[in-house]
Amino acid sequence: MINHRGPEFAALLADLTAGVRRVLQTEYDVLFFPGSGTGGLEASLVNTLSPGDRVLAITIGAFGDRYADIADSFGLAVERYAVEWGQAADPGEVRRRLQAAPTTRAVLITHNETSTGVTNDLAAVAGAVHEHSDALLLVDGVSSLAALPFAMDELGVDVVVTGSQKAWMVPPSLLLVGVGPRAWEATRTARLPRYYWDFQAQRAAQARGVTPYTPPLSQLFALRAALDIIEGEGLAAVYERHRQVGGYTRRGLARLGFALAADPAHASNTVTAARPPQGVAAADLLRRVRERHGIVLARGQGKWTDEIIRVGHLGRVNRAAIRRVLQALAHELGDG
Ligand SMILES: Cc1ncc(COP(=O)(O)O)c(C=O)c1O
């Protein structure tokens, strides 16, 4: 450990800020909080909005639902645009809803929905939002950033939230938040209560080379190493590797008789959700793969809890790793 109020920490913070800015493709602020993705979703709302503000929550799965639920719990006037699970949001529908509700203050969207394995077309949705309203665009980038192409400033994203444990390849509990100029403007009038998550306090401290409260120092060291790996490979190559591994995973699962849950036009390159072949129970398959092959895959979430399996393929992952997963599944399906 180092003194997190000393000069070494200030140098580390400056270095990490520059590195994360390059990944987010922003010239604006990057805030480093101790916490997980959900804390970041809450932070994005309480710093920019006031009680009763109207928000359009686009939800295509369990994490979109969570973002909407947090907004509800803070007394925002939430309109949910809920899309059938497995599908992506329709930018035309976003446009229609914003035109019908011109006082909408913010649009909430999950870039990559981890529960269904679907990636929203963020560029198209952002275009619809900015063309037809002044609403802030708040993005959950927990399972997309550092794996899927993303350019904060070009997209006009006002706040983006991401978590260390996903494609950043860092242990859990470091929260990264990108904040743009329109969001800073909103923080000046936003009246929702906040203290620990206060963006202004965080920015002021970071400008002095510290954080307001004790930072997750080990994760920040790990992030330094992860940024070296990402920059060594190159961001474009990282995105391309995820694209290839995503396709490889989907083709492999389909060959084994799984039904892919995502609309193929919007299938995620960081996580694949799939229904096992007829007669195979997802929970049983997951247990056998774990116990007999030492491979931990995920079950579904929400209404898909017992229906699907999910294979994560983000961060430090390659075809060889996925090949082992597919071989283990093939073995167990054969045995079944
Ligand atoms: C898209 C998305 N949003 C939010 C979260 C919540 O993050 P956390 O569990 O870090 O609070 C997750 C976690 O998997 C996620 O995948």
Assign domain 7-232 to a CATH class: alpha beta
Nearest CA to ligand 1 atom 5: 37
The CA-based angle 189-193-195, given to 5 degrees, is 105
Output the CA 322–ligand 1 centroid distance in Å.
Answer: 22
Q: For position 132, what pLDDT does the model report?
A: 83
Among the atoms of ligand 1, which is closest to the Cα of residue 165? 10
Q: Helix (H, G, I), strand (E, B), or coil: what is residue 251?
A: helix
H helix runs in 89-234, sequence order: 91-100, 122-132, 152-155, 181-187, 199-207, 217-233
Which pLDDT belongs to residue 336?
Answer: 46
69 CB-contact burial (10 Å; exposed 0-12 / middle 13-18 / buried 19+): middle
Q: Note the CATH number of domain 234-335.
A: 3.90.1150.10
Q: Is 38 in the pocket of ligand 1 (CB under 6 A)?
A: yes
Whose tokens are 């849950």? That residue is: 261
- Read off the pLDDT of residues 4-56 as tens digits, 9 standing for 90 and up: 999 999 999 999 999 999 999 999 999 999 999 999 999 999 999 999 999 99
Domain locations in the chain as residue ranges: 7-232, 234-335
Structure confidence at residue 193 (pLDDT): 98
β-bridge mates for residue 58, sequence order: 81
Identify the segments of the chain with pLDDT beneath 70: 335-336
